C-alpha cells in the first residue's frame, strides 16, 4: 500500500534518529544532495529560480494523473540534500494533501534553522512555492 504523507515523514524521522552526531546527519544530507537528479544547468529556467540571499534554488512543478511531481536543484549541496527530502515527501501526493497536511519532519530532525527566514537559503520560499503550485490544482 502507498505510504501516506505522514508515514513518509515518520520514516525520515526514524532514519535520522540513529545519528547522535550532527556531522553524521549532515553527511547523510550531503549524500542525498549528491544522489538526487535535480535540474541540469542547461534546463534551468528563470521562472523556476528562487533567489535566496545565501543559496539559490530552482523548482519545477508538474501534475501527472492528479498527483504532484516536483524536481528541484540548488547551487549549495546542503540545500540540495534538504530539497531531496522535501521532494521525497511531496512527490506523488495529491495537491489537496500537500496544501492541507502539516510538514513537520524538518523540525523533528533538527533542521528547522534551514527553513527559517534568517537562513535565506531559498528553502522556506521553496516550500511555500510547492504549496502554491499544489493549490493551483485544488
Q: Binding residues for another protein, per CB under 8 A?
A: 22-23, 26-27, 30, 53-56, 75-79, 120-121
Q: How far is the CB of 31 from another protein (least distance, A)?
A: 10
> What DSSP element (H or E) covers 10?
helix 5-17
**Residues 6 or more apart whose Cβ sits within 8 Å of residue 6:** 101
Is 53 a residue of the active site? yes
Catalytic residue among 14, 49, 53, 132: 53
Q: How far is the CB of 22 from another protein (least distance, A)?
A: 5
Q: How far apart are CA 2 and CA 54, in angstroms?
A: 36
Output 86 or 134, the one with its CB closest to another protein: 86
Residue 66: CA count within 13 A, CB half-sphere: 4
Pick 1 or 22: Cβ nearer another protein: 22
- Which residue lies nearer to another protein by CB, 95 or 122? 122
Residue 67 Rama label (left phi>0; alpha psi -120 to 50; beta): beta
Active-site residues, by number, are: 53
Amino acid at each position: 500500500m502507498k505510504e501516506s504523507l505522514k508515514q513518509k515523514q515518520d520514516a525520515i524521522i526514524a532514519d535520522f534518529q540513529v545519528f547522535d552526531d550532527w556531522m553524521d546527519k549532515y553527511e547523510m544530507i550531503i549524500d542525498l544532495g549528491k544522489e538526487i537528479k535535480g535540474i541540469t544547468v542547461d534546463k534551468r529556467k528563470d521562472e523556476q529560480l528562487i533567489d535566496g540571499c545565501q543559496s539559490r534554488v530552482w523548482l519545477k512543478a508538474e501534475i501527472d494523473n492528479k498527483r504532484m511531481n516536483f524536481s528541484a536543484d540548488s547551487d549549495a549541496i546542503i540545500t540540495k540534500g534538504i530539497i531531496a527530502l522535501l521532494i521525497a515527501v511531496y512527490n506523488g501526493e495529491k495537491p489537496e494533501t500537500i496544501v492541507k497536511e502539516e510538514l513537520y519532519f524538518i523540525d523533528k530532525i533538527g533542521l528547522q534553522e534551514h527553513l527559517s527566514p534568517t537562513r535565506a537559503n531559498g528553502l522556506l520560499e521553496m516550500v511555500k512555492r510547492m504549496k502554491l503550485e499544489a493549490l493551483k490544482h485544488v
